[in-house]
Structure formats: C-alpha cells, structure tokens
Amino acid sequence: MKHIDRREFISGLALAGAGIATTSLPALGLEKQKLTRIGIIGLDTSQVTMIISHINNIPGPGYDVVQPIWDSSFEGFRVTAAYPYGSKKIESSIKQIPTYVEKMKENGVELVDSIQALLSRVDAVMLMTFDGHPRVEQAIEVIKAGKPLFINKPFAASLKDVIKIMDTAKKYNCPIFSSSPTRYLNGAQAARNGSIGDIMGADSYSGCPLEPTHPDFYWYGIHGIEILFTMMGKDCHTVQRRHTQNTDHVVGIWDNDRIGTYRGIRKGKVTHSGVAYGLNEILPAGSFNDVGHRPLVIDMLKFFKTGISPVEIEETLAIHVFMEAADESKRQGGIPISMKAVLATAKS
C-alpha cells in the first residue's frame, strides 16, 4: 500500500464524516465504493483506539496496530464520528475520556455532542461505553434508528438490561452483535470448529477485577467466560461458584453431562486463555497476544455489511445468564443454580 499523506487522510475522513464524497481515499481502494461510516459511543476505554487502529489503519504507540497492515477486509469502512460519553459514576472511566477524545481528534474523527447527532452522520455504531449502566438507553436509541450495532463488553450492567436490549432489537428488527476479542483465540476457534473432535469439557481463565457497580463477572471476568462458551457452546444448565478474595472458580454443567470451568484471577499472574478437552486431542485455547483485536474487528465489519451476527444472540444471552447464575450461587453459599430459573426470574 502506498504512503498516504497524513493531512490528506485526515481531510478525507472529515469530509466522509460529513457525508461528502472525497477523492482522498483511492490509495485504500475506496474510490468506487460507498464508504460505510462508523460511529463510536463512549470514549472511556483503551479498546476504542485498539479497534480504530485496524479500521482506519493507524499504527503506532497506544494502538493495536504496530505496522501498517491494512487489507481488503477493511475496504469501504471508516470510523468518522464519536460521542464521548460515557460513565457518569465510575471515576476510572470518566478520567479516561479526555485522553481518547484527543486520540480521536488526532486522527480526524469528528466529535459530536449527542447520540442523535452521531446517528445523523454514520451508517453503523460501536457502543463502547465502559460503564454498563447507561448502555441500555444508549443502545435503544441506536436500535430505534435502525443502525447496525456492535455492543462491546460489558453488554449492560444487569441481566434484565441485557434482555431489554435484545428484546428491543428484535422488536425493531435491528441487527446487533456482541463479543469479547478473546472469542477469537486460535485454539478456542479450532476446538469450536471440530479440530479435536467432540468437546468433552473445557477450562478457561482470565483476570477478574471487581467493580462494585456491576455484577461480578460483567465488568471483566466475561472475557474468560467468553472463551469457555466459545469452546463449550451455549447449552449450559447449572452453575456453581466458589469465591475468595483473590479467586473465583465457577463450574458449569453442559448438555451430555459435560463440565466446563472458569477461573477468575485477582492476584498473581493474569492472562486470558484456557484448554479444550476433545474426544481426539487436548488443545490449549491460545494466547490473546497472537490475535489481538483484529479478528473481532474483521467480523464486526462483515456484520455491518451483512446485518448477520457471527455469534448467535442466544449464545450471548446464555453467557450473561451464566454470569448471573454464578452471582446467585455466591449469594446462596455456593450451591448449584439453574440457568433456566435465573433466566425466568430476569424475564419476570
């Protein structure tokens, strides 16, 4: 790919964000394509720069991309506008907003003062707000506008809100997609796709810091739990949890009496991975350092183009029921909790 003058590139983004045709993007292969303009809600997490670095091909410190690695997967897409907010209660999130506002400005992304203003400028939306509480209102605003919506973690701050967002998307026939980038670990994907035969069981682990305003695993543990569901599938029936100050250990029973476990780590070495136990082979889930955000971003862009989520909404829902059931097990002293009962309670 030939070098693009930075001023030319930023100018092109600004024009595209305003809906004006531009000739500043031919070097990226966009000269004969309609540009799909992507908007961001929430600039209070480092993931916004990790993701935009792939879509807008911005290499350098603080981004996921170290070298320019644009290819045809990103053709016809640009992040062009962002609404910065955002948590109003979680100080660690609020403090990050100015940093990522500046990052957006540096790269020609237009900053707007409302979600409605954002929706008038873009074709698809990434909901990145780090605090799950405002997400239900933010998501519904996007859904009612009919814009394809990617929902970053946490999906929301309660199972009831998760269900409300999903039900609203169904009502308005609006496509939504949510996934952690950890779903795309090489071994986890290989196991899911049958490389080791039928999955007899799996273990996963990840960092699991707690945030008092959110259910325990919604805040961060979800990244390891997504790995578990990637390998095991959606059909978990009961959940049992053991909790200490430094560690959580959750055991799920899946269909055919298969056992899957998650270990949430709050002290010691922290990483995201696991292992799948197949009929023919035992396979490590792999390292997040080997994949980063790139596979997730590629699937997200395909979703924006087709309106078809690469992850069934039923599986995303099951992940959140699992986490709520784990909290209920903790509240009841570690007894097994029925996923079906937890879902029924949340829907009541």
Sign of the CA dihedral 235, 239, 244, 249? negative
Residue 292 DSSP symbol: T
What is the pLDDT at residue 72? 81
Axis crossing angle, helix 313-331 with helix 222-232, rounded to the nearest 10? 120
Share of the chain above pLDDT 70, in %: 87
Minimum mean pLDDT among 72-76, 139-143, 225-229, 267-271: which range? 72-76
Task: Give the pLDDT of residue 220.
Answer: 93
The pLDDT of residue 54: 87
- Would you state the torsion angle of the CA atoms of residues 98, 102, 108, 109, taken in this order, to the nearest 10 degrees? -20
Strand order of the β-sheet with 176-178 is 110-111, 77-83, 36-41, 124-127, 149-151, 176-178
Summarize the confidence of residues 291-320 as an average pLDDT: 96
Please report the pLDDT score of residue 24 as a whole number.
31
pLDDT confidence of 321, banded at 50, 70, 90? very high
Q: pLDDT confidence of 31, banded at 50, 70, 90? A: very low
User: Domains along the chain?
Assistant: 6-131 (3.40.50), 182-292+317-347 (3.30.360.10)
Residue 99: both structure tokens together? 């940093």
